[in-house]
Structure 1
Amino acid sequence: MLLSVVVPAHRVQGYLRSALESVTGQRPPPSEDGPADLELIAVGAPGGGPDLAIARESAERDPRVRVLALDRPWDTGTARNAGAEAARGAYLLFLDGDDLLLPGAVAEISARLGEERPDVLRLGHDLVDWWGTARPGDDALPAARNQLFRRAFWEAHRLRFTEGPYDDVVPVHRAAFLASDAGTLGSLDRICVRHRLRRTGTFATTPGRAHFAAVDAYERLTAETGGDPRVPAARTAHLAAVLDDPGRIAPGDRAAFFRAAGLPGRYPGHRIRQAVHAGRGRARAAARAARKSLRARLMRAVYRADLHRPLDPCLAVYGAYWNRGVACNPAAVYAKARELVPHIRGVWVVSSRHRDRMPPGVPYVIEGSRAYWRVMATATYLVNNSSFPGGFTKRPGQIYLQTHHGTPLKTMGLDQLPYPALTDGVSFERVVAHTDQWDFSLSANPHSTEVWDRVYPSSYEQLPYGYPRNDILCDATPEQSDRIRAELGIAPGATVLLYAPTHRDYRKGFLPRVDLERLARDLGPGCVLLVRAHYFYGRSAGTAAGDRVRDVTGHPRVEELFLAADALITDYSSLMFDYACLDRPIITYVPDWDAYRAARGVYVDLLSGRPGDTPGAVATTEGELREVLSSGAWRSPEADALRAAFRSRFCPYDDGHAAERVVRRVFPVPPD
């Protein structure tokens, strides 16, 4: 057995269930140490309680889970030691009940251990607060959760957690020193462990003198290592972090803690140095803000002057996805305009951080630059699927085409008003003012036309033409699909599934609700899983690279991924409406349907099973998803019938000529 995961289960009932499921949901591949499995040891307090009940429920469902109940007073260090003594795995991982082992972590760990066998493997880790905001883990605060220990090494050196607070200081540092000296200290950069910060109810959020135990822990570490010269630096970094944490040291205890910690100088001097450092930081930030403000004012002054210049009848400005580059419907309109109205010069707006996405030879301006304000002031045609930055002034004679970037499944525009938690800071007055700038609003289907008319109320003209970005799908040939697969390095004859979930307004970061590596293995060697995270999460899904699971988030054209895929697995993404043009299977995987619908609101009930609402097979759990795929239900006659009704409702205009219709309506196309 490769891995034993030890989890103390005490006073974490609101977090424990998901912590345990994050472990049992892992499926490590076979290793030299035994079968493809792990064990989870949950250690509870005497007398049980709700935490122990949750752990026992988990053990009833999964034979890999074992439950231990201490027969002595509860202490986290004691619980961890008891779990380590009962462990059978080659490696030990100590998680807290409010930690999560992220999907695919064990597979990644297994791969890393297959290359070498370190005594200690440091794992990538992060923190997420109660608002859902993630940030990197603080390595100045040593913790067992992001360290993997070889069990034979742990036992040979008699490593043990101490009793009382800061129980992991001694074993974590001792293990690191020993492994470093032996050359057996490894690291894995991938984020494997996520610690969920809690607002109240934990030792770390309860200020008091109990945190002076951190000083005692380093005295013990010094004694046990014989005064190792590496201890002072680690001690200073950790104790300084404890001092600066308001959740640990109360204001009235700070001077006393400073003295007990033996940090350099006197506490008043420390406070002065902190204030000076903070003041310098604020001064630098203020100077940067002043320079930025001055530049913005200068740009606006020049822009106001440019507004008096005549409009250029041969200039069109394009933008997509808040200045991320050439993409979506604007890209298809741009390409067709070059063909039908070559005398009209197209220029793209792109942010400085995305300029590397611009194809060679495509003209562009950087948002906020002098060139940007000049083209915004003088272009006759404006084409965007979101909005142009900076609050430009639309002039009489300018023509604005809003293409949108998806068929609305979730609520949009003014329909978001009943969901204030997700629209904090959004000015609906500005939304309506932006709508007033549109001359044309592109619609993919009658459903979209109805929604746009209600949620973006203004006097623009609706263009029920279909989406130009889907023209390539309507004209697709097997040769195109084969070429794209070859470019992606996919072997001929493979079954290709595209997993493309959307973002969650109520959750930060890409966190797939499925073990992608296990799913690919279960489907067999003839299957390849392409993973595309929503563009809000950046250019990478953070998934492990391999032959069966490919991270294609950074691929520039999702339409090409559609052509490469035999089926689409998605949740609430508008991609399903576009993919339906291909008449290929769509699997709806919605493990959080109730939460998503309650948080954001939806226009289409994907789970209803009604023709026109549900695009094919549906799964609400990871087990159901595996069953849908392994049983063939995803391409059954019943799924085909649902897909046909879905296509009829949402793809009536898609015939391969949407871009041409748009260009001929918006631009002055010469007669044939």
Structure 2
Amino acid sequence: MFLSVIVPVHGVQGYLRQCLDSILEPGCPGLEVIAIDDKSPDGCGAILDEYALRDPRVRVVHLEENVGLGEARNVGLSLATGEYVWFFDSDDYTAEGSMLSVYERLQETKPDVLIFDYARSYWHGKVQRSVINKLFREPPAPDTFALRDRPSVLQLMMTAWNKAIRREFLVELGLKFSGGYYEDINVTYPILMAAEKLSLLDQVVYIYRQRRRGAITRTGGKKHFDAFKQYERIFAFMAQHPETDQYRPLMFDRTIWHLLVILGRGDRVLPEDRERFFSEMSRIYRTFRPADHTLPEDVQLAAKYRLIEKNNFRAFETSKKLNERRISAKKRVRKYRGKVRKTVRFAKGKANGLYYRTQLRLPVDENLAVYAAYWYRGYACNPAAIYESQKELAPKVKGVWVVKRGNAAKMPEGVPYVVAGTREHSRLMARAKYFVNNVNFTDDPVKRKGQVHVQTQHGTPLKKMGLDQMEFPVGANDMDFRELIDRADRWDFLVSSNPLSSEAWDRGFPCSYELLETGYPRNDRLVRATDAERAALREQLGIPEGKKAILYTPTHRDYMKRFSPQFDLRRFTEALGDDFVLLLRAHYFYRPKSMGLPEDRIIDVSSYPIVEDLAIASDALLTDYSSIMFDYAVLEDRPIVIYANDWDTYKLTRGVNFDLTQQPPGVIAFTEDELVDAFASGRAWNDTAVKDRTAFRARFCSWEDGNAAERVVRRVFLGEQLPKPAR
């Protein structure tokens, strides 16, 4: 084995697939990936097992308890067989083609340590190469060298993930990763000082993801004091290896630099701990400062060194505050403008705005909930299912719906509602405690302390969603992603229908909500549907007795401006004959005009408000990339046919979260002839289709047991904890 990539895994289900796919690049001989499931609380363990089943290069170890990143790396190292080891963080990934570059450089130079460059990938789409990348080439480096020949290497990122290390060299040094926030520096600095042969690869190999949330080193707390123990370990290593003593001045400066960085970042050391942290830094300074050390040439840095040596925290803080004031003065005008927000305007008209501001001064009503769906279209989807369950389980809470004026008459009898844009709407948004919607509410309402927002979404995301859309401009359609994330920051809970959704939501909406892995509340009806209900719905919809009703639900295509069937509907229905009828339901983005289609063969149900009714009433589903396939699969005895004539175009323009063509929920057709044959020949009902549908349902419908709405209500309205779903 040539290269062992060790990947500790914990709580990164949204990013893990990209990480593994980037490592498992074809053409890398002698590669093994040792993935350590550090008792991940999400779906990471199942994802790892999935990869291990299909790729023999992947080996998975499931730990019985969470041991932390450092110890998980040690476990991986003990199992590695490669000549080289590479410690890889599971939320990051490699640049395209870079695995082969690492292989080639290792084979060419045979170093003890290979160091390569990285880029930071920010949540808002910016990707930036390391700011000190010039150190890889200025001055030009020989193929291999020792640290004494190029001491600037110590300034490169001190992490483990930007280095491939000769395994025998590392093991012989007896170095182990420790616990804590800075678990790798007591390994990465010593190996640079002890190596006889270092090599550089002037190429962005590693993409370091700057997650919007979840980075422990950017979390304030006392654990940042761990840095002192780590640097003490480094100096202890140097004492045991006298050949490294030549690097003591360099290592000392690097230590003080890093400790100043930790203290200087406002999000790390807590205010009440700053003086103690400074005192510890002073201790490290006096303990490990070499006798021949000289102060830095930089005047400001040299002044900090003197204050650290004297443990003069008060003067250090005074200097810091003066500097902050200078910076603040330059930004004051821009900062002021940035704070100006239109939070005082909620509804159209000055009167409603004033009324809303008045209502904001009154207490939040603990027993009032706002429900809405599809931009105030009416009573539908997951919010409707949650509303029904909430009435039963939390009857003290009054649920009120927000609807557009034109849709008010369609509200079910007995369901309270207000019309969007009215004073009643303003009062509701200002005073209610709970908010349940399957899309975002408008930006104007202020989220008050104590208010709880539940985002249910309205479909399992085959297509890319949220921040994932940034790579697909057609699908993004000039979307303001910062505003999108600002809205998602309001969510306290986000409902997930299946593991695929959980992964997609983690990536697409990296905010601080609680993920409710409950299944989809709207699918409870499908689980509980009866024959009597089905018969009544068929009669209501006018489905002729004895005919098979095919529900056709084409999805929205971002590259199309209007609804256009992807096949000849007249030809299709004529080819199937009198035994079939087509229920045509265009996507709600469209308002299809009459197409002169035969009414005896096609029933236009585009305006029918409840899609669950259509699913229950039908005999089979015909769709393309609509999320309804995941819902319909709950109906175990109903065939699903996918018409994927433009799959490559859709995948390119919208982006997808998994390859539907490799795991369809039944028959997949790419041409009109194949589509007709799927129904006319009975293939949609044959054993192969049933087997595919069963596998699809096992992967995507395992949480659908008819109790999803109840689980949401129990967690949100009753405060109960939910058990983790099976994967």
User: TM-score, normalising length from structure 1?
Assistant: 0.54
SS at match of 2:633: helix
- Counterpart in 2 of 1:525? 578
CA contact (8 A) 1:416 1:423 kept: yes
Is 1:372 the counterpart of 2:425 in the alignment? Answer: yes
Alignment of 1:5-16 (within 5 A): none
**Deviation of the 1:298 alpha carbon:** 3.6
Corresponding residue for residue 98 of structure 2? none
Conserved? CA contact 1:328–1:405, under 8 Å:
yes
SS of corresponding position for 1:431: helix
Cα distance in structure 2, aligned partners of 1:571 and 1:585 = 14
Q: Which of 346, 349, 354 is equivalent to 2:399?
A: 346
Aligned to 1:20: none
Cα separation, partners in 2 of 1:334 and 1:541, compared to 1, 3 Å? farther
Cα 1:542–1:465 shift into 2, 3 Å: farther
Cα distance in 1, alignment partners of residues 511 and 560 from structure 2: 32
Tell whether 2:699 aligns with 1:646.
no
Aligned mates of 1:411, 1:294 — CA distance in 2: 32
Q: CA deviation at 1:542?
A: 5.1
Map of 2:441 onto structure 1:
388
The aligned runs of 1:103-502 (5 Å cut-off) are 295-502=348-555
Compared with structure 1, are the counterparts of its residues 425 and 367 closer, same or farther at alpha carbon in structure 2 (3 Å cutoff)? farther
The aligned residue for residue 623 of structure 2 is: 570
Q: Name which of 582, 587, 603 aligns with 2:641.
A: 587
CA contact (8 A) 1:317 1:376 kept: yes
Q: Is contact 1:499-1:568 (8 Å) kept?
A: yes
Deviations 1:191-226 (A, max 9, x none): xxxxxxxxxxxxxxxxxxxxxxxxxxxxxxxxxxxx
Amino acid at match of 1:607: T
Residues 626 and 496 (structure 1 numbering): CA distance in 2 closer, same or farther, change over 3 Å? same
Please, what is the CA RMSD of the aligned residues? 2.1
Q: Is the 8 A contact 2:620 2:639 kept in 1?
A: yes
Which letter does structure 1 place at the counterpart of 2:657? Y
CA shift at 1:442, angstroms? 0.4
1:537 maps to what in 2? 590
Query: Which structure 2 residues correspond to residues 632-643 of structure 1 after superposition, within 5 A?
Result: 632-643=682-693
Residue by residue, what CA displacement relative to the aligned partner does 1:372-424 show, whole Å, maximum 9, x if unpaired? 11100000110000011252111110011111100000100000011223324
Q: What's the CA shift for 1:545?
A: 5.6
CA shift, 1:293, in A, is 11
Once the two structures are TM-superposed, the CA of residue 356 in structure 1 deviates from its matched residue by 3.3
Give the match for residue 601 of structure 1. Answer: 655
Task: Report the equivalent of 2:668.
Answer: 618
Distance in 1 between the 2:592 and 2:557 partners? 17
Give 3-state SS (helix, strand or coil) of 1:537's partner: coil
CA distance in 2, matches of 1:356, 1:506: 34
CA distance in 1, matches of 2:608, 2:482: 35
* In 1, Cα distance between equivalents of 2:598 and 2:709: 36
Runs (4+) of structure 1 exceeding 4 A deviation are 292-295, 539-543
Change (3 A) 1:539 1:479: farther
Q: Distance in 2 between matches of 1:352 and 1:516?
A: 35
Q: CA deviation at 1:478?
A: 1.8
- In structure 2, how many angstroms separate the alpha carbons of the residues matched to 1:469 and 1:637? 29
Instruction: Note the C-alpha offset of 1:513.
Output: 1.4
Question: Structure 1 residues 426, 670: CA separation in 2 closer, same or farther (over 3 Å shift)?
Answer: closer
Per-residue Cα deviation, 1:12-59 (whole angstroms, up to 9, x for no partner): xxxxxxxxxxxxxxxxxxxxxxxxxxxxxxxxxxxxxxxxxxxxxxxx
Q: Provide, for residues 271-318 of structure 1, a one-character-per-residue CA deviation record: whole Å limited to 9, x for no partner.
A: xxxxxxxxxxxxxxxxxxxxx999434422321221111011111001
2:600 aligns to what?
547
The alpha-carbon distance between structure 1 residues 556 and 421, as it changes in their structure 2 partners (threshold 3 A), is closer
Question: Which letter maps to 2:677?
Answer: E
Q: Deviations over 1:449-486 (max 9, x none)?
A: 11101110111111110001000111122222111111
Q: CA contact under 8 A between 2:347 and 2:426: conserved in structure 1?
A: no
Q: How does 1:34-45 map to 2 (within 5 A)?
A: none
In the TM superposition, what is the alpha-carbon distance from 1:522 to its structure 2 partner? 1.6
Q: Which moved more, 1:323-332 or 1:631-640?
A: 631-640
Give the residue type in structure 2 aligned to 1:550. I
SS at match of 2:589: helix
Aligned-pair CA distance for 1:539: 7.5
In structure 2, do the counterparts of structure 1 residues 321 and 592 end up closer, same or farther at CA, with 3 Å as the change threshold?
same
Range with greater deviation from structure 2 (645-654 or 472-481): 472-481
CA contact 1:313–1:379 (8 Å) conserved in 2: yes
Query: Are the aligned partners of 1:544 and 1:551 in contact in 2 as well (CA < 8 Å)?
Result: no
Q: 1:423 to 1:567 in 2, by over 3 A?
A: same
Q: Which amino acid aligns with 2:448?
A: R
* Aligned equivalent of 1:80: none
Cα distance in 2 between the residues matched to 1:334 and 1:535: 22
Distance 2:590 2:512 in 1: 34
Q: Is the 8 A contact 1:580 1:651 kept in 2?
A: yes
- Give the Å deviation of 1:532: 0.4
SS at match of 2:349: helix
> Does the residue aligned with 2:495 lie in a helix, a strand or coil?
strand
Q: Structure 1's 331 and 543: CA in aligned 2 closer, same or farther, altered over 3 A? A: farther
Structure 2 residue runs without a partner (length 5+): 1-344, 722-727
Residues in 1 aligned to 2:643 and 2:403: alpha-carbon distance in whole angstroms: 34
Instruction: Check whether the contact 2:347–2:422 (CA below 8 A) recurs between aligned residues.
Output: no
| 8 A Cα contact 1:540 1:554, kept in partner | no
Contact 1:531 1:541 in 2 (8 A): no
Going from structure 1 to structure 2, the CA distance change for 1:379 and 1:539 (only over 3 Å counts) comes to farther
The 2-side partners of 1:540 and 1:435 are apart by: 35
Q: Which amino acid aligns with 2:634?
A: C
Contact in 2 for aligned 1:330/1:385 (Cα 8 Å): yes
Q: Give the secondary-structure state (helix, strand or coil) at the position aligned to 2:390.
A: helix
- 1:540/1:553 contact within 8 Å kept: no
Deviations 1:333-375 (A, max 9, x none): 0111112222211111112233333223322122222211110
8 A Cα contact 1:532 1:541, kept in partner: no
CA distance in 2, matches of 1:543, 1:562: 25
Q: Structure 1 stretch 477-486 or stretch 593-602: which is displaced more?
A: 477-486
Question: What displacement does 1:540 show?
Answer: 6.6
Give the letter for the 2:509 counterpart.
Answer: Y
With 364-373 and 572-581 compared, the bigger mean Cα shift is at 364-373
Task: State the identity as a percent.
Answer: 50
**One-letter code of the match for 2:708?**
A
Give, in angstroms, the shift of residue 327 of structure 1: 0.4
1:343 & 1:539 partners in 2: Cα distance?
42
SS state of the match for residue 313, structure 1?
Answer: strand
Q: CA deviation at 1:330?
A: 0.2
Residue 585 of structure 1, CA deviation: 0.8
- Match of 2:564, SS state, is coil
